[in-house]
C-alpha cells in the first residue's frame, strides 16, 4: 500500500508541473519564441535602428522612423504600456536643468515641440509625440521621448484608440 507522500508527489507531477509549464510557454514575453502569435496591437521601438514597429497578431503591419533620446538623455528601455493620449498638447518645460529658462508653449505655437498628440508610456516624463522638428527623425535628438512626424504620431494614436487604449510597448537598445 502506498502512503500519502507518494500520492502528493504523483499529483504534483501529473497536475502542478504541466500547469506551470503551460503558464511558462504562454507568458507574453516568450510566447513568440514558441511560435504563438500575440493577439491585438503592440508596439516595439528599436533604439539602435530608430524605428517603431506596429504589430497586430504578432505580425508587423506598419513601420515608422522615429527620433530617440540623446546619449545624455536616453530613452528608457524595457516593457511598458501606452497610457493617456493628449490631443493637441501644450508644452510645459519639465523641472530639468536642460529646460531652465524655457517658456511654456500653447498648442499651435510654432515653438511648441509637441505636435498633434502626446502618448504617455512612463508618466510624467516619457511619451511618444509629434515633433516640430521633423528633420530630427532618425537621430538621437530628444530628451528621452520618442519623436515622430506629426502625421505619423496622429495615425499611431488613432490606431491605439481603435485598439481600446493602452497597448504593450517594448523598447529595446
Provide the pLDDT for residue 117. 96
Provide the pLDDT for residue 137. 97
CATH architecture of 37-172: Beta Barrel (2.40)
Provide the pLDDT for residue 32. 46
Cell 539602435, residue located: 48
CB-neighbour burial class of residue 150 (10 A; exposed 0-12, middle 13-18, buried 19+): middle
Domain definitions of the chain by residue range? 1-36, 37-172
**pLDDT tens, position by position, 122-157:** 988 899 999 999 999 999 999 999 999 999 999 999
| Active-site option among 73, 79, 129, 143 | 129
> Residue 167's closest CA among 60, 76, 33, 39?
39
Q: What is the average pLDDT value for the chain, to the nearest integer?
A: 85
Distance (Å, whole) CA 115 – CA 165: 20
Contact 93, 104 (CB under 8 A): yes
In this structure, how many other beta carbons lie within 10 angstroms of the beta carbon of residue 100?
A: 8
**pLDDT tens, position by position, 87-105:** 999 998 888 888 888 899 9
143 catalytic? Reply is no
129 catalytic? Reply is yes
**pLDDT tens, position by position, 27-64:** 444 444 444 445 799 999 999 999 999 999 889 999 99
Amino acid at each position: 500500500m502506498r502512503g500519502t507522500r507518494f500520492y502528493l508527489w504523483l499529483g504534483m507531477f501529473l497536475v502542478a508541473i504541466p500547469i506551470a509549464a503551460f503558464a511558462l510557454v504562454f507568458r507574453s514575453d516568450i510566447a513568440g519564441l514558441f511560435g504563438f502569435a500575440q493577439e491585438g496591437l503592440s508596439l516595439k521601438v528599436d533604439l539602435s535602428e530608430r524605428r517603431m514597429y506596429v504589430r497586430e497578431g504578432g505580425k508587423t503591419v506598419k513601420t515608422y522612423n522615429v527620433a530617440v533620446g540623446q546619449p545624455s538623455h536616453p530613452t528608457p528601455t524595457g516593457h511598458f504600456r501606452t497610457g493617456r493620449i493628449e490631443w493637441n498638447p501644450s508644452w510645459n518645460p519639465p523641472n530639468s536643468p536642460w529646460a531652465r529658462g524655457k517658456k511654456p508653449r500653447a498648442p499651435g505655437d510654432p515653438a511648441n515641440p509637441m505636435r498633434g498628440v502626446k502618448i504617455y508610456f512612463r508618466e510624467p516624463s516619457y511619451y511618444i509625440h509629434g515633433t516640430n522638428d521633423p528633420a530630427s527623425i532618425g537621430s538621437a535628438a530628444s530628451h528621452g521621448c520618442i519623436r515622430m512626424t506629426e502625421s505619423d504620431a496622429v495615425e499611431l494614436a488613432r490606431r491605439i484608440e481603435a485598439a481600446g487604449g493602452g497597448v504593450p510597448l517594448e523598447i529595446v537598445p
